[in-house]
Structures are given as C-alpha cells and as structure tokens.
Chain A
C-alpha cells in the first residue's frame, strides 16, 4: 500500500525532508518504523527506539500498535512543546 509520511521539527531537520511517499507492506506503525530504521543513516539515528518519537496516523496521536491503511498519512515527530 502507499502511505504519505511526514516529519516535523528536529526529525524533519535531521532528515532534510518534510514528507515522502512510500510503498510498504507494513501493517502497523511499529512495522513501518522498523522499515524506516532499516534504511540506516539519519533514519536509524533519528527514529531509534531509544529516542522519544511520537507518531500520528491521519492526524491523530497513536502508538506503535496502530494499524495502517492504504493512503494513510503517518507523521513522526519529537515530543511537542507548544504553549
């Protein structure tokens, strides 16, 4: 299935990328993160499991067990610091 992936703040900056389209068979957010980690380089560093990374699917905060679907918008970002 095809997903739209978005990155924000320090993750966006570190990857030098705000969004990308991706073809994947990952069924969950966790599986997708594994796939991105396997790319190595900045992906492995910025999305590493030891780091605080928050995820939204279709603009709703989710955890790694969340299911993915065709056309989903998945965003990875650091903890939020508004206000």
Chain B
C-alpha cells in the first residue's frame, strides 16, 4: 500500500513507497529522466565541481546522496620515458554524446537515481588539469557510489575518446587497458575494447 505518492515535474516520474509498518522507505521504481543533452557536456572549457553539483541537486529535497568523480591529467605515464608535458584529447563528435547519453540511460535503468551529469573535456590539456566529471544523486549513498563507478567504468571503455601524450621525446597515443575492460565486466557487460 502506498503511503506516499509523488508526481514529479514533467521530465521525470517517481513512484516511491513507504513501508508504513516498518517505518522504512523502500523504492519501487525511482526516477527515470527523459534523455536530455543537459546531462552530458563535451567541452574544451574547465568545469566547476561545486557549481555542477549545486545545479544537479537544484533544491531537490529527495536527494540524500551526491557522489562525484573527477579524473585529472597525470604528469607521467609509467610506460613513457620522460615527463608528459601535455595531453591532447580527440573525440568523435556526435557519437560521443550519443554513447554517453546511452550510458546515462543505462545507469538510470540500473540504479535509483534522481540526477546524473557527465562532463568530458577535449582538446589540449596539461598535467593536473581536470579532464572528466561524473556526478550522480540518489536518495541513499549505495546507489550513488555504484552509479558513479558504473558510469566511469563504462565511459573508459565505450566512449569514443582518444588521448595523446606529448613528451620531450615526441607524441604517443595512450593504449587502452585490459583492466578497464575487466572493470566493465564486473557490471555484467562483456564489451571488448582493449
């Protein structure tokens, strides 16, 4: 029996049930947002983690957990002689956005999320620069931790980005890692990249 029913704004539908006897909330089917380009940004500009999270939470009182991951440019790859002085990010315009939108849809299907945001930078970057942001909101921490990791594992192996490191010895395309495929396989997705 529903003790609580919430009709959310037009872009999302949430149905939540409260077990009255237990005094404990459980989710039947939480939020599914309609696809929107606002969930995904591919940009040369830097991003502000605080501002991104503030926008994602946006006065949504259902949110009890926010989890985010920020990837940064390392100054040295163990396999490369010398220092990495710069990193160039190439991508496949059009496919990149579609692939990440599909990943976010998959995250919403798997986890009870309220919001998700992915920002990936392209173009020239320097060591210590921020390169990628994944942020998700949910009612409880478990879903947000898991969805954040799921999205990053998916993104590392299925989104069409390529990194080229510049060192004093010249440029070098970064190799895909088998361990990234293994990370995605943990979620029951056997998609070979490396």
User: A79 near B94 (CB under 8 angstroms)?
Assistant: no
In the complex the two chains form, is A82's CB within 8 Å of B95's CB? no
| Given A9-B162, A56-B160, A59-B98: A82 in contact with B92 (beta carbons within 8 A) | no
Q: Is the CB of B176 within 8 A of A75?
A: no
Is B155 in contact with chain A by the CB < 8 A criterion? yes
The chain A residue with its CB closest to the CB of B93 is A59
Which of A9, A10, A61, A75 has most B Cβ within 10 Å?
A9
A80 contacts B162, C-beta separation under 8 Å: yes
- The answer for the CA separation of A79 and B193 in the assembled complex, in Å, is 5
Is B16 at the interface (CB under 8 A from chain A)?
A: no
Q: State A16–B90 Cα separation when bound (angstroms).
A: 15
Asked whether B157 lies within 8 Å of A80 as measured between CB atoms, the reply is yes
Q: Is B20 at the interface (CB under 8 A from chain A)?
A: no
| Pairwise interchain contact B132-A77, C-beta atoms closer than 8 A | no
Is A79 a contact of B92 with CB atoms below 8 Å? no
Main SS of chain B's interface residues? Answer: mixed
Given A8-B160, A56-B160, are A81 and B91 neighbors across the interface (CB < 8 Å)? no
Select B152's contact among A9, A78, A80, A83, beta carbons within 8 Å.
A83
Alpha-carbon separation in the docked complex, A77 to B132 (Å): 21
Q: Which residues of A contact B159 (CB under 8 A)?
A: 80, 82-83
A4 to B155, CA, bound (A): 26
Complex contact B98–A82 (CB within 8 A)? no
Q: Contact: A75 with B162, CB < 8 Å?
A: no
A residues sitting closer than 8 Å to B (CB atoms) are 6, 8-10, 52, 54, 56, 59-61, 75, 77-83
Q: Can you identify 23 A-B contacts, CB atoms within 8 angstroms?
A: A6-B92, A8-B90, A8-B92, A56-B95, A59-B92, A59-B98, A59-B99, A60-B98, A77-B160, A78-B176, A79-B194, A80-B156, A80-B161, A81-B162, A81-B163, A81-B174, A82-B91, A82-B160, A82-B162, A83-B71, A83-B132, A83-B155, A83-B161
Chain B residues packing against A (C-beta within 8 Å)? 71, 89-92, 94-95, 98-99, 120, 131-132, 152, 155-164, 173-176, 191, 193-194
Q: Top 9 closest A-B pairs, CB basis?
A: A82-B161, A79-B176, A59-B95, A9-B162, A83-B156, A81-B174, A10-B173, A79-B193, A81-B163
